Amino acid sequence: MTVAASENPFGHSIGADDIVDTLGFFDNWEDRYKYIIDLGKELPAMPDDLKTDERLIRGCQSQVWLEHERRGSEFHFLADSDAFIVKGLLGVILSAYNNKSAQQILDFDIEQYFEALDLLRHLSPTRGNGLRAMVQRIRDIAAAEAG
């Protein structure tokens, strides 16, 4: 992968707790959506040559690519999408999973996280399915490495 871990703030300087805390400051979902879109602007750019069919996540309404590498026991993810809101949702997910071990990824209670964010109620069913597909891909990667 071409992006250094220090260039990706998710799971490093922006953690899952930070996302929950910040979203809690907003009174309405319009402001929360703006924040999520702004999170997507923090994602490091994925080089076009990495946007291949093998990295494409099926089940998403938009195109979403995910690349990973393992450094020591930690996984580092690089992700991109052609939709601004989805890039933000990738940031939400990576804040929980990036720079974590396979066991930490598998142990993380993503349902409780989504509940704390009150996120799934505010996404269309197709976006919610896409979000779950992104999570499942990351969990599958971790499970393959852990097993």
Catalytic: which of 60, 64, 105, 135?
60
- State yes or no: is 12 an active-site residue: no
Angle, helices 16-25/84-97, rounded to nearest 10 degrees:
130
| Residue 90 · residue 131 · CB < 8 Å | no
Residues tagged active-site? 60
